[in-house]
Structure 1
Amino acid sequence: MVIDSHQHFWKYNPVTHGWIDDSMAKIRRDFTPTDLQPILETNGIDGCIAVQADQTESETEYLLDCAKEHHFIKGVVGWVDLMAPNVEARLAYFAQHESLKGIRHIVQSEPNDFMLRSEFQSGIAKLSQFGLTYDILIYPQQLDAAIALVQKNPDQQFVLDHIAKPSISKGMDKAWKSKIKALGELENLYCKVSGMVTETEEFRWNVDDFKVFLDVVTQAFGVDRLMYGSDWPVCLVAASYKEVLSIIKNYFSDEELASIMGLNACKFYHLEQSGG
């Protein structure tokens, strides 16, 4: 089964989606499962993981409803307030939905030490009892906290989104490289090769720009802990779905792609490995 491990749906609202600035005007509209399904079919993708973009339980409900109505949505990474006093009850409520596979918080918008706060750590510690993973969404300056978070929770399954958003157009950053290597040594952490095209200046790029970054994450995590993600529709400000996919297909061998574009996501998110 071929899986896109990272994409979004939303009903556009200028308040809740205020992060979509003028440079991203082309995605200031609704994006629904009926928009994505033909794109996946055209590109030979069997299914996807829908990831939260708004930090509300109502969005988690919306994504779970989408998964219920559309079989190609194989799993949902939703949002729950991990620092709330009733976090365990809320996790239990949402975990009743078989399609809920993980939780994410938009940490990139938080202070650099956010993931080290005791309330957040307490919430993270409750995920494993419900079989839930955690997606780490950060900027490079938050990598130290990410390393500490993963080290402190060896029994929790984590995945790093968008290779931690390095500045692609500026070339290789030695600090990013070193910290990615440190993260790769932690076996309870996977990494999504996703979100790279939008980390370029003015969304201008060529395929060679990504090679050195793919070299680093592949060496750090190995092909058995990497997952392809399109980051659709956010990617559309910089590239078509096919162009994003081609970056990955042109870099990895067919044998490696079998893991990166399917087997690893199925293992990490506990998906049934069947086509369709």
Structure 2
Amino acid sequence: MRIDTHQHFWIYDPNRDTWITDNMSSIQRNFLPNDIAQTLKDNNFDGVVAVQASQSNKESHFLAELAQAYKMIKGVVGWVDLHSPQIDEYLDEYQKYNIIKGFRHVIEGEEDGNFLSTDEFLNGIQSLTKYDYTYDLLIRPRHYESTLHCVRANPNQKFMLDHIAKPPIKSQEFEEWALFIQDLSSYPNVYCKISGLATEADWTNWRLDHFTQYVDHVIKCFGKNRICYGSDWPVCLLASSYEQSIEIVQDKLKYFTQAELDLFWGLNAVNFYSLK
């Protein structure tokens, strides 16, 4: 099974979706499964994981309902308030949606560098573990230390690092990010999506070799059993076509065996998210 582990769907709302700024005008519109279905077929993908783009319980229900209508959606990463004292009640309610595999918060938008190490957040993660949900990590450098603290405190929780932690590809800075990846990958319960790369580069002037040191480092650190592909569609369209988002990664897999390619393009995601 070939899986794109990171796609977004939304009915655009300018009041809600303020993160889509005016320099992103090309994605200030609706994006739904019919908009990508043929492209997925053309690129031999069997399905996708739909990931939250806004932060409300309504978003989780929206994605779960889309999955009922579109079989291409093999799993959903929704949103839930991990800080809520009612977290167990929320997760108990979500049990009726088998398609919801885990949750995510847009931590990169949180100015507090300690966001992942607060007692409330850690309590929420413990609840996810209890209910066997995954957690996607969307972070910036200010969250590196609290991310490591959170992962270290929750060895039985399945974590997925989104967009290889958004390294500064445009400026080609490397060392701080590389050390973090090395530390994070030492925890066997953490996987990594090689995704969202073009939008961290110069949107209009990137080359394939701009991504090489970052992708190579992730493969070296996480190995071939804990990495998977994600397009970050439609956000990727700001800097690349869907096919180019594939090419950026595929270019770095020349020495993978067929079995290793099968893991990267699908089987690792099936294992992590328990997809069917």
TM range (shorter): over 0.9
Distance 1:95 1:143 in 2: 31
Identity %: 42
1:114 maps to what in 2?
115
Distance 1:138 1:100 in 2: 22
| Matching of residue 74 in structure 1 with residue 74 in structure 2 | yes
Distance 1:212 1:204 in 2: 18
1:249 maps to what in 2?
250
Deviation at 1:22, TM superposition (A): 1.8
Alignment of 1:169-184 (within 5 A): 169-184=170-185
* The 10-residue stretch of structure 1 (42-51 or 196-205) with the greater mean CA deviation from structure 2: 196-205
Q: Contact 1:3/1:45 (CA < 8 Å) preserved in 2?
A: yes
- 1:263 aligned partner, one-letter code: L
2:196 maps to what in 1?
195
1:102 maps to what in 2?
102
Distance 2:234 2:250 in 1: 19
2:8 maps to what in 1?
8
1:134 maps to what in 2?
135
**Matched length:** 272
Distance 1:22 1:221 in 2: 36
- 2:83 aligned partner, one-letter code: M
| Matching of residue 59 in structure 1 with residue 63 in structure 2 | no
- 1:16 aligned partner, one-letter code: R
- 1:158 aligned partner, one-letter code: F
1:22 maps to what in 2?
22
2:267 maps to what in 1?
263
Distance 1:96 1:127 in 2: 15
Deviation at 1:202, TM superposition (A): 4.1
1:152 maps to what in 2?
153
- In structure 2, the CA distance between the partners of 1:125 and 1:216, relative to structure 1 (3 Å rule), is same
- The alignment partner of 1:268 has SS state of helix
Distance 2:85 2:241 in 1: 42
TM-score normalised according to structure 1 size: 0.96
Structure 2 spans left out of the alignment, 5+ residues = none
Distance 2:79 2:194 in 1: 21
Distance 2:142 2:223 in 1: 23
| Matching of residue 225 in structure 1 with residue 226 in structure 2 | yes
Q: Contact 1:9/1:31 (CA < 8 Å) preserved in 2?
A: yes
Q: Contact 1:8/1:52 (CA < 8 Å) preserved in 2?
A: yes
1:210 maps to what in 2?
211
Q: Contact 1:172/1:213 (CA < 8 Å) preserved in 2?
A: no
Q: Contact 1:197/1:203 (CA < 8 Å) preserved in 2?
A: no
In the TM superposition, what whole-angstrom CA distance separates every residue of 1:237-259 from its partner, at most 9, and x where no partner exists? Answer: 00010000111222113523211
Distance 1:75 1:166 in 2: 26
- 2:17 aligned partner, one-letter code: H
Deviation at 1:49, TM superposition (A): 0.2
- In structure 2, the CA distance between the partners of 1:36 and 1:254, relative to structure 1 (3 Å rule), is farther
Structure 1 spans left out of the alignment, 5+ residues = none
Q: Contact 1:51/1:76 (CA < 8 Å) preserved in 2?
A: yes
1:88 maps to what in 2?
88
Deviation at 1:180, TM superposition (A): 0.4
Distance 2:27 2:257 in 1: 32
Q: Contact 2:10/2:32 (CA < 8 Å) preserved in 1?
A: yes
Deviation at 1:129, TM superposition (A): 2.0
TM-score normalised according to structure 2 size: 0.96
Distance 2:61 2:2 in 1: 25
| Matching of residue 164 in structure 1 with residue 160 in structure 2 | no
Distance 1:49 1:254 in 2: 25
Deviation at 1:155, TM superposition (A): 0.4
* The 10-residue stretch of structure 1 (48-57 or 254-263) with the greater mean CA deviation from structure 2: 254-263
